[in-house]
Structures are given as C-alpha cells and as structure tokens.
Amino acid sequence: VWGALAVVLPEVDQLRGVEQNPYHHRDVFEHTTEALTYVVGVVAQLGGRQFLTTPEEAGLPGVGPLVPVSWAVLLHDIGKPLVRVVDDRGRVIFWHHDEAGRRMCAGIGRRLKLSNRFVEYVGTLVRQHLRLGFLTHEQPLTRRALARYRRDVHPWVFESVVVSLCDRLATRGEKTSLSSMARHYRLARTVWTEVSKAPTPRVLSGDDVMDLLGIGPGPDVGRALDALEEEVEAGEVTDADGARAFLRRWWAARDDA
C-alpha cells in the first residue's frame, strides 16, 4: 500500500524522514500513519459514523463512509516539508503549514481529477486542523469563538473534530498527558455539540446588506454577512434593527482602517 502511495500521492511519501520538534515523538510520515490508525476509534467515541458527511456529500461517491475523513487525516500535514525551518535556537518550526497544505490539496485535486467539492472538503479540513487545539487556550469558550469555528469549518464540523483528535493522539506517544488529552476530548465534545446545532437564521439577506451599504454583488457582501452572523451567534445582535446598526458601524470601521 505505502509503495503505491509514492506514485499516487508523492506529497505524502515526501513526509518520510521529516523530523519535528521534541514535542512530537515521530517524524511527519510516521505521525501521519499513526494518526490514520485512530480514525475508526475517534469516530466511534464521538457518536458514530452516522454523523459523518456521506461520501456523496463530500464529493467522493462510491467509497466507504470513513474514506473521505481518512483522506483529510492523511493529508493534514503535507505542507510541513514546504515550510520547515530551523531557527537560530535550533527549534524546528512549520509556520503556516496548514495553509500550505490547503494549497497542495488543490494541486492534488487537479492531478487526480478529483471533484471540486472533495477538494474543498479536504482543503478545509487540512486548513483548519489546528483550530480545535487553539480553542483549548480560549477558556472560557465564548459564543463568538464557536461562531467563528462554525463559519470556518461548516458544513464539516464533525470531521474537523475527528481530524483534530487523530492528530493530537498521534503527537506525543507515551509522553501524552492524560489530563491534556481528556481536556482535548471534552472540548471536542463541547464544540461538536454546540457547533452542530442548527445555525441561527440570518436576520438580514444579501439584498438587505447591499441596499443598506450601497454596494453591489461581490465579496464584501459575504464578509458583511459573516461578520453579522458572528454577532448574532454571540448574542450581541438580536433583531433587524440591531443588525443594521452593527453593519453601519462595521462598514464605517472598514473605511477608517
């Protein structure tokens, strides 16, 4: 299997021998293959396969239910060789390997003629695979932080939690702190429970935003709706009047920046 991998996915084969910092107990390739071994167990512990996006919805029809998320785990660190540096203190650093990995997923998709949907699925999960770990440092966990997380991983919340836990389980080996791992699992369950709830309905439409701000169709409309959604999820905006007032302030602040 791994011999064929070098031909089909050389990006993964190139992880062999890429050493990491002492926090990790394996090189990047060994870490990745270990992370894959946890997929089945993590999915089961979080509630089961019924919560996974179906292969058809993920853009990879005709495969088993665990295959799409396993792809994301397999590719989550492919950006590391590209960005690896050793600083003047001898520390190994992988700045922005998540974003580098997302871009590489797009290249893999073109080469293997994967669907745009699946490239988006894998690319999003690779890009966001560190986010849950970052949230462990945001305590107490705020509604705004959850809203941002939902926005950035939607609609693949469950898979994002699975990838994060598999990554974390394969990081320290026998040095893993049981308390830190338990904390990560508790956070994963909290995030999955909260973020998987139905999103709060939008109080303004895209047309409303364009009329209010005097702009035409374009990325600013989406940015405005995202910013508004975050405020609604955080409980700061509760009705259309409040939404309009917020968007006026938000737009003015952009002009002043």
| Residues 162 and 222 reside in one and the same domain | no
Domain assignment present for residue 200? The answer is no
Distance separating alpha carbons of residues 103 and 98, to the nearest angstrom: 9
Which comes out higher in pLDDT, residue 158 or 176? 158
| Residues 81 and 183 reside in one and the same domain | yes
Stretch among 32-36, 55-59, 192-196 having the lowest mean pLDDT: 192-196
Assign residue 50 the CATH number of its domain. Answer: 1.10.3210
| Residues 176 and 218 reside in one and the same domain | no
* Phi, psi for 61 (deg, rounded to 5): -70, 155
| Residues 188 and 226 reside in one and the same domain | no
| Residues 39 and 75 reside in one and the same domain | yes
Model confidence band, residue 257 (pLDDT cutoffs 50, 70, 90): low
Q: What is the per-residue pLDDT across 83-110, written as a single tens digit (0 to 9) for each?
A: 999 999 989 999 999 999 999 999 999 9
Q: What is the per-residue pLDDT across 197-234, written as a single tens digit (0 to 9) for each?
A: 666 777 899 999 999 999 999 999 999 998 898 888 77
pLDDT at 230: 83
| Residues 16 and 109 reside in one and the same domain | yes
Q: Which of 148, 173, 195 is the last residue of a domain?
A: 195
As given in the structure block, the two tokens for residue 194 are 């909260």
Which comes out higher in pLDDT, residue 72 or 186? 72
CA 131 to chain centre: 6
Distance separating alpha carbons of residues 72 and 248, to the nearest angstrom: 39
Q: Are 37 and 62 in contact (CB under 8 A)?
A: no
Which comes out higher in pLDDT, residue 175 or 159? 159
Q: What is the per-residue pLDDT across 6-50, written as a single tens digit (0 to 9) for each?
A: 899 999 999 999 999 888 889 999 999 999 999 999 999 988 899
Q: Are 228 and 190 in contact (CB under 8 A)?
A: no
| Residues 181 and 54 reside in one and the same domain | yes
Of the candidates 202, 245, 244, 198, which has an alpha carbon nearest to the alpha carbon of residue 226?
Answer: 202
Which comes out higher in pLDDT, residue 206 or 1? 206
Determine the structural domain holding residue 36 and report its residue range: 2-195
3-class SS at 243? helix
Residue 216, CA distances (Å) to 74, 211, 223 in order: 41, 8, 13
pLDDT at 256: 61
As given in the structure block, the two tokens for residue 133 are 């770990």
Q: Does residue 255 surpass a pLDDT of 70?
A: no
Q: Are 117 and 54 in contact (CB under 8 A)?
A: no
pTM for this entry: 0.83
Which residues share a beta bridge with 92?
86
